[in-house]
Amino acid sequence: MTDSPVVLDGMQAPSRPRRRPETEVVLYSLVLAVVAATATLAIPDVWSPTRPAGWWLVVLVAVGFGLSERTIFHLEFDRQAIGFSVSEVPTAIALVFLAPGPAIGARLVGSAIVLVVLRKTPLYKLLFNLALFTLELVLSFIVLRGFLALVGDTDAEVVIAAIVAMVVASLLGSVLVSIAISMFEGSMLERITSELRVAWWLFVVNSTLAGMTLALALMAPALTLLAVVPVGAMWYLIQRYGIVNQRLRDLDAVHGFTGRVGQSLDPAEIMDAAVVETASLLRADSASLIVFDVNGSPMTRSIGSVGVRLPIAPDDPSWADLIAGDEARLIDGKGLRKFGLDTRSPSAELLASSVKDGADPIGLLVVAGRSGAAHRFGSDDVVRLQNLAEQLASSLGKGLLHQRMEREARQDPLTGLPNRAAFEQKVAQVAKDRNHAGVRFVMMLDLDRFKEVNDTLGHHAGDELLIEFARRIAQHKGRFDVLARLAGDEFALVGYRASEAEMNTFAEHLLAEAARPVTLDGLELVVTASIGIAVIDDHVDTAIAIRRADIATFNAKTQRLGIETYRDEIDRRTPARLSMLGDLRTAIEHEDLRLHYQPKLDLSTGIVIGAEALVRWTHAVRGAVPAADFVRVAEDTGLIKQLTDTMLSKGIEDLRRFHDRGFHLGLSVNLSTHDLLDTRLPERVQRYLQASNVDPAMLTLEITESALLIDAPRSRATINDLHAIGVRMSIDDFGTGYSSLSYLRQLPVAELKIDQSFIANVLIDEQDEVIVRSTIELGHNLGLEVVAEGVENNEILEQLRRFGCDVAQGFCISRPLAANHFMSWLQATGHPSRNQDPLDANVWVTEQKPPVR
Ligand code: C2E
Ligand code: CA
Ligand code: CA
């Protein structure tokens, strides 16, 4: 027969009905009890059995009912939890050898003892079960006796009648249980039909087995013992089947959990998903996840209320043991009082598991309130929670690492101050704020003898000096000022003051503060500083403001002024930068800039699929100037527009030559922040492409992460326009900026270039390895092609190939080469397309690696 307590275990969290479902179940049980009592009276010969037996059989049957109640387990078929017990065996015996009265008594006493003493079933459920059992048994008697009256009562007829009676009663029982469950969960009809559909065969099998036992008993009571073997075997086999099935389902669930929880890199999103999933997988009303942050307040996410005071640190006295331990635990009412749970309900209990990243606890996962009637967690739930906590740990670990990376990317590790990138963003914000009545300014602070300190006293003393300097300035800055460390001994501050006079007083104050003696290594030193100030007005953008403050500082320093405020005249007098600027302008005009090409190697096929164009400039006096240096000057002065145009037009012309020679390659060109603010760039790019008859899909434009943040809407419009003409976009130096993933996801980007600083140490630094691997995974999840740059040796190349990286670029493949050398190199390394018909080659290349959009 279908046994209700187990089936009720399958209940999900109650959706709020008008009346409490427990009350409804009690009323329902009373109705069933009345029906059962009335029906009992309708049975003829309530006190005489079909086949008489000794009184001792009543005790034996009661024990049999108790035993079958005790050995109940539940199976899940088609998402329905079906209780399985062998109660049909004592039922069959009782039907035939006992009178209805004693049989009902045995049923009630045997089951009640187990339910009350061993199961501690709550009252409403006990009531329901007892009413249900009685009704089932009474119905069996009515069917049996009706059948016998119709066909006669030979032993064979008795056995058949008993089987029919039990099947009918089981079907009725199943319907009644479905109705009770629907009081918690609704959808009654659906529940009834689906349970009957799933479980009918169990009723037939059980009843037939019980009928066979009965047949043996009718032949000779001792033969009944023979039935122990098949009944026991059946019970065992079905239970094993259920366990294996449950394990498979658990695996499935855990797998799905990781998939759903691990989709994000944002710890808050991961936590939200985790509590919802955990509560649902463990069929609990409430779940809480708390994550301890090393340097901050803990984060908590909950659904429902677990009713306990959660720890705020891993060493919280009541929780420390559990958090340090490796195993999930089930905590009962007594244990809960220790954690300060208000235990009004005697059956309250909760499951808790530490979430550990390696040996370090990063959080705690707590689940409470098992839904439905059984409302108890079992040992398998403990294992399940532990599994979930382990899966969660790896997703959460990744998310926290990412968060830390994002934070660190904006912070100077030595002083904890914002770094250049964060500072630029702040200046941009201040520059946009036009509502302020007073003055807005950027102030650059530079220590005068820092290099001396560093060289004579060592780096350690140098670091200490920087930290002390930062501390002093931070103490005196205004509430809305932002202080940052840009590089070495270069600090900067952006802020507001009511007037220029106030701004100047503030600067003098800082200068005096900096000049107070510092004790380093027991030595008292006086280190002075120079300050350059640039006022921000409506015509000055971030880059210009910072450059002007820089120029003012240069002046303050070289002329020992202490403080200098930028004016246009001093710009013209600043020598070093100015000479470079003039020369660069001439170099661009005279077409003295050269292009070098560095191959991009497809790691899956080993074929060169493209090249990055890098600018080269040899100064008449200075010799080769590093690209990064003069590109920066070009950016600061607006010359970058011409520089980028040169790279694009010459690069595309060269690409035409490569194609004509049969090398079907793509070309990558670097763009600067300022290029993205130029809304006419897409138009020019298109012109160059058309002039050389080059497919736009062959051109990739690389933009750095930080470029995306300056004037985002305008840059985005340019990016979208470039995408619209068919050009691929790539994010360069990925990992060094602080672009949020959600932002990247919105951009029409085809490629992600992992910054070389991570690639260089990928073999030796575990953290870099994690970053590289997760960036590759992340890129692929977003549908991007992932490029590794700065690959300096074959070991790294092999590792990247193993990690599934798509493309590599670096000295170990080739240094950047002038166009002619590059072509010779391609020829010498046997680039495949040179041996083929150019058309074929083209098809072949695109088929191998379709351009990712
Ligand atoms: P980037 O775009 O990240 O370019 C890669 C840089 O890494 C290049 O330096 C390249 O020579 C170097 N490199 C390539 N393979 C390796 C390697 O295996 N190991 C090491 N250590 N370095 C490698 P380069 O040419 O000096 O350029 C430096 C930066 O200057 C570029 O970084 C880019 O930001 C900028 N730049 C260069 N050319 C242009 C240009 O035409 N336009 C713009 N806007 N910026 C450019
Ligand atoms: Ca680049
Ligand atoms: Ca790069």
- For 127-184, the pLDDT digits (tens) are 999 999 999 999 999 999 999 999 988 999 999 999 999 999 999 998 998 888 788 7
609 phi/psi in degrees, rounded to 5: -110, -5
**Interatomic CA distance for residues 423 and 812, integer angstroms:** 36
**Interatomic CA distance for residues 812 and 649, integer angstroms:** 28
pTM: 0.43
pLDDT at 365: 94
Mutate to test the pocket of ligand 1, among 598, 600, 614 (most ligand atoms within 8 A of CB): 614
Averaged pLDDT for residues 328-339: 80
- Give the H/E segment covering residue 565: strand 563-565
CB 595 within 8 A of CB 817: no
Cα dihedral 288, 293, 299, 303 in deg (nearest 10): -20
- Work out the angle between the directed axes of helices 228-261 and 379-408 (0-180°, nearest 10): 10
- Give the H/E segment covering residue 655: helix 640-660
- The CB of 445 under 6 Å from ligand 1? The reply is no
Ligand 3 midpoint to CA 63 (Å): 79
Least confident of 293-297, 751-755, 829-833: 293-297
Q: 445: pLDDT confidence band, cut at 50, 70 and 90?
A: very high
Percent of residues, the chain, with pLDDT higher than 70:
88
Ligand 3 midpoint to CA 753 (Å): 7
pLDDT greater than 80 at residue 483: yes
pLDDT at 668: 98
Atom of ligand 1 nearest to the CA of 704: 34
DSSP helix, strand, coil percent of the chain (3-state; round to 5): 55, 15, 25
- The CB of 808 under 6 Å from ligand 1? The reply is no
Smallest CA separation from ligand 1 atom 43, residue: 670
Q: 241: pLDDT confidence band, cut at 50, 70 and 90?
A: confident
**Interatomic CA distance for residues 344 and 124, integer angstroms:** 18
Averaged pLDDT for residues 331-336: 79
- The CB of 598 under 6 Å from ligand 1? The reply is yes
pLDDT greater than 60 at residue 372: no
Ligand nearest to the CA of 631: 1
pLDDT greater than 60 at residue 535: yes
Which residue's entry shows tokens 């680039």?
Answer: 831
Task: Identify the burial level of 621 via C-beta atoms within 10 angstroms of its C-beta, where 0-12 means exposed, 13-18 middle and 19 or more buried.
Answer: exposed
SS3 413: coil
CA 751 remoteness from chain centre? 22
- The CB of 810 under 6 Å from ligand 1? The reply is yes
Q: 578: pLDDT confidence band, cut at 50, 70 and 90?
A: low
Please report the beta strands in 225-298, taking only residues with DSSP state E, as ranges in sequence order: 284-291
Which residue's entry shows tokens 């930290």?
Answer: 467
pLDDT at 798: 96
pLDDT at 719: 93
Give the N- to C-terminal CA distance of the chain in Å, as an integer.
60
CA 800 remoteness from chain centre? 24
- The CB of 588 under 6 Å from ligand 1? The reply is no
Averaged pLDDT for residues 288-307: 82
Smallest CA separation from ligand 1 atom 26, residue: 627
Ligand 2 midpoint to CA 604 (Å): 22
Smallest CA separation from ligand 1 atom 12, residue: 790
**Interatomic CA distance for residues 44 and 511, integer angstroms:** 110
> pLDDT tens digits, residue range 392-430?
888 888 888 888 888 778 888 899 899 988 899 899 888
pLDDT greater than 70 at residue 12: no
Ligand nearest to the CA of 674: 1
Q: Of the candidates 40, 21, 3, 30, which has an alpha carbon nearest to the alpha carbon of residue 127?
A: 30
- The whole-chain average pLDDT of the chain stands at 84
Which residue's entry shows tokens 């060493």?
Answer: 315
Residue type, 189: L
pLDDT at 487: 84
Mutate to test the pocket of ligand 1, among 637, 670, 809 (most ligand atoms within 8 A of CB): 670
pLDDT at 598: 97
Ligand nearest to the CA of 701: 2
Residue type, 463: D
Averaged pLDDT for residues 39-63: 88
**Interatomic CA distance for residues 48 and 52, integer angstroms:** 8
Count Cβ neighbours within 10 Å for each residue of 751-785 and write b for 16 or more, e otherwise. bbbbbbebbbbbeeeeebbbbbbbbbebbbeeebb
Least confident of 495-509, 755-769, 826-840: 826-840
**Interatomic CA distance for residues 376 and 152, integer angstroms:** 48
CB 5 within 8 A of CB 374: yes
> Bigger pLDDT: 253 or 101?
101
pLDDT greater than 70 at residue 637: no
Ligand nearest to the CA of 700: 2
Q: 108: pLDDT confidence band, cut at 50, 70 and 90?
A: very high
SS3 327: coil
Atom of ligand 1 nearest to the CA of 791: 18
Compute the Cα dihedral for 218, 222, 223, 226 and give only its sign: positive
